[in-house]
Structure 1
Amino acid sequence: MMVLITYDVNTEDAAGRKRLRQIAKQCVNYGQRVQNSVFECLLDAAQCRMLQAKLCAIMDEERDSLRFYYLGNRYDTKIEQFGSKDTYQPEGALII
């Protein structure tokens, strides 16, 4: 299923900047960054729970926020992209 993950981390101090880097690093491991604090991740249910647990362990619940939007398996009909950035196909061929 496609999961859209967004986060807002308070970066007023060094600890917040560290949390921001750690959360972004975990999200990069599971999906594609589509905006600064927004990731599209193609996950199964177990991967989603594991990623949620990792991110919640990193975040400061008093100062940061995480949002998970579950777009499901028919996500291609729910996403429209406009503007300068090219879209990507998460199930397409990956050329390295």
Structure 2
Amino acid sequence: MTDLEYDYDENEFCAEDERRCIILVIYDITDNKRRNKMVKCLERYGVRVQKSAFEAFLTERKYDELVARTTRIIDPHTDSLRIYLLANHTSVRSWGIGDRHVEDVIIF
């Protein structure tokens, strides 16, 4: 699996009745032009909840689309992108680009 690939089981992370996932996207982008492009991209999928954080409730297809579009925007050498799939309020699985992420911390 390469750095840009991800693997998840939709049933593990999505509500069965809705077949949608709660997604949290957090980024740190050094260039203003790329940062503005990221904001415009993420506004198509979810709601801005902090300066560099968005929440969304997405189907698997929309999630795949979001990952593809956001990874084309960032510079993996200078920027950081974290995408979290939140499930059942107790389980968190993360995927990201950039070396600023040291360890996963899960709070229950």
Normalization by structure 2: what TM-score? 0.61
Q: Does 1:50 align with 2:59?
A: no
How much has 1:23 moved relative to structure 2? 0.4
5+ residue gaps in structure 1?
11-15, 79-96
Off by >4 Å, runs of 4+ in structure 1: none
Normalization by structure 1: what TM-score? 0.69
Whichever structure has more helix as a proportion of its residues is: 1
Q: Does 1:29 align with 2:49?
A: no
String of CA shifts for 1:24-45, please: whole Å, max 9, x gaps. 1111110010000000011111
In the alignment, the residues of structure 1 paired with residue 81 and residue 50 of structure 2 have an alpha-carbon distance, to the nearest angstrom, of 15
In the alignment, the residues of structure 2 paired with residue 65 and residue 56 of structure 1 have an alpha-carbon distance, to the nearest angstrom, of 10
Whichever structure has more strand as a proportion of its residues is: 2
Cross-structure match for 1:6? 26
Q: How many residues align?
A: 71
Match of 2:54 among 39, 45, 59: 39
